[in-house]
Structure 1
C-alpha cells in the first residue's frame, strides 16, 4: 500500500465517520445555522430571514443536521403549526468550533478581500 492509496480504514476514506463529520462541518450552511441556534430554539422563518436562505435549502440543511443528531425539531400542535429548531447536546459541542471559525473569518476577511481584488485586477490585465 502506498501513500496515494489509503486503506479503507483510513480516517478520511469515503464513508469513514471522521470524514462524514468533517463534511458536515464543511457543509455550506452548518456553521451559520449552528451560530444562529446558539441562543436557543428558533422558528424556521426566523432562521430563513436571519440567514437569507431559500426555504428549500434551509429545510434540507436542517434535515441533514437533524439526521446527524446535531439539531432537534419540535412541532407544536397549533394552527398554523409552529416548528422550532434547537441545537442538541451534541450540536452544542460545535459552538466553540464555530466561534473559532467566526474569529478566523473576521480576522482574515480584509486580507481575503485584498487578495480577491488583486486577483481580479491581474485577470483584467490579461
Structure 2
C-alpha cells in the first residue's frame, strides 16, 4: 500500500493537468500533427505545446520529426500512453452516466 499512494497521486497529477485528458483523447484516434490538434482543441498553441512537452517528458507520447520541406512533426501515443486507453474510456463511460450538462457549466466558473 505504501507504494500505491505516491504513484497514484503522481499519475493523477499528470492526467488531471488542464487539457491533458483531451489531448490524450485526441491521440487515441491516431497520430496527429500539431496543427491538427490545435484546430481540434479549444486551447492556445502555446499551452498545447507545453502540455505535449510534458507528456513527451513522461514518455506518454512520442514526437516524430520528418525532415521534409516544410518539416513535419507528428505526435502519437507511446506504449505507456496507449495503456491509458481503458482508463480514458472508463472515464468517458462514467461521464456519460453521471455528469450532467449543469455540471459542465459549473466546472467553468
TM range (shorter): 0.7 to 0.9
Residue in structure 1 matched with residue 102 of structure 2 by the alignment: 113
Alignment of 1:1-126 (within 5 A): 11-12=4-5, 16-110=6-100, 113=102
Matches of 2:79 and 2:64, distance apart in 1: 15
**Residue 11 of structure 2 aligns to a residue in which SS?**
helix
Residue in structure 2 matched with residue 3 of structure 1 by the alignment: none
Matches of 1:44 and 1:108, distance apart in 2: 32
Matches of 2:30 and 2:95, distance apart in 1: 23
**Residue 113 of structure 1 aligns to a residue in which SS?**
helix
Larger gyration radius, structure 1 or structure 2? 1
Instruction: Report the CA distance shift for 1:73/1:107 in structure 2 as closer, same or farther (over 3 A).
Output: same
Matches of 2:59 and 2:94, distance apart in 1: 26
User: How far did 1:114 drift?
Assistant: 6.7
Query: Structure 1 stretches of 5 or more lacking a match?
Result: 1-8, 118-126
Q: CA RMSD in A?
A: 2.2
TM-score (norm 1): 0.73
How many residues of Structure 1 are paired with residues of Structure 2 in the alignment? 105
Q: Deviations over 1:22-45 (max 9, x none)?
A: 201111222111111112210001
